[in-house]
Amino acid sequence: MTEAALVPLHIELDTRDPTVRLAVVIYNPTAGSGLGKKHVDLAAVRERFKRHGWQCGTLATRQAGDGTEACRHALAEGAAMVVAMGGDGTINEVVQALAGQEVPLGIIPTGTINILAREVGVPLDPMAAIDTIATGEPRTIDLGKANGRYFTSMIGLGYDAESILNLLPQLKAWSGPLAYWVAAFKSYIQHKAVRATLQVNYGDRTKRLRRLIYIMVVSNAGLYAGGVLKFSPEANLRDGLLDICVIRSGRWYRALYHGALTLLGRLRTVSDVEFFRAVSIEFSSSRPFPYQLDGDPVGTSPVLIEIAPAALRVMGPAAAPNPRVMMAGS
């Protein structure tokens, strides 16, 4: 295949038949919780797509950020579907180039949590996932944006992001979700609340608030940590709104209490937790406050978070769509 200008990536593809739809699978060959974790054989992936009438090329990334460039390369090569094989971090990189395109995203979930796959009804078994996306239909979903970078599921600020920063890659590769609980405990010891200003835009009005914030989670999707933690379980990928959960208290015993309520889905029962549904929120703080997008640390405050309605097409089941994501028209 010819290389796209200035893109030092190569799609592994035996032959190119322009009359057959091309699916390009983007994957990280060294991801501890990706290919190495679930032992997905690339030849089997290509054969599975071929069985459903697709031509399949595979494109390996080599370092952080390559997923975005790889997606651009796949689009330049005429891909009819760009497939992210990995976890939510891999998907996030691909989405940066795929947002606003007619070409849909396919997901082969080989990560630790796989939130977006769960939201759109893609099976967690890789081969079953291929069967679903190769024969399914596209859904149009919203994306969030934080300082211009897209996210599919959520952005977490404060304790949530600090836990991601404390995540040990080696432990994650070995133990999966256990690594997140270890990082959460370490962050609980060292994290402090911050004084912040929130500019909340509801669409028809704006409200300015000052709060002492321990953690703030802004959700585009309802699932968090695979559904174990429940910050805004009612969040929907197609409602054109962000669901915002603000936990104000920084006292250690309240943090433990809030953690228990998050597991039980009962955060709305306490007075020092606030919820908003808005189209954007601007967050500034008295000191830099870390934030993460879709499970990867990105930066520190200030940050403008906004909704990008109907910004992405995602392949899902054709016959029985997940009720959380209604079918999009063609």
Query: pLDDT tens digits for 4-33?
Result: 333 446 677 767 788 899 999 999 776 544
Query: pLDDT tens digits for 73-120?
Result: 999 999 999 999 998 889 999 999 999 999 999 999 988 788 999 999
| pLDDT value at residue 16 | 76
Give the SS3 label for residue 275.
strand
The Cα 229–Cα 217 span in angstroms is 11
The Cα 165–Cα 183 span in angstroms is 8
Backbone phi, then psi, for 296, in 5-degree steps? -120, 135
| Joined tokens for residue 187 | 């962050």
Find the mean pLDDT for residues 212-225: 91
Q: Are strands 290-293 and 55-60 parallel, antiparallel or unpaired?
A: unpaired
Query: pLDDT tens digits for 238-280?
Result: 999 999 999 987 676 777 787 788 888 888 888 889 999 999 9
pLDDT-above-90 percentage for the chain: 58
| Joined tokens for residue 298 | 């990105």
pTM of the model: 0.85
The residues pairing with 244 across neighbouring beta strands, listed in sequence order, are 218, 276
**Amino acid present at 30:** T
Rg (CA), the chain: 20
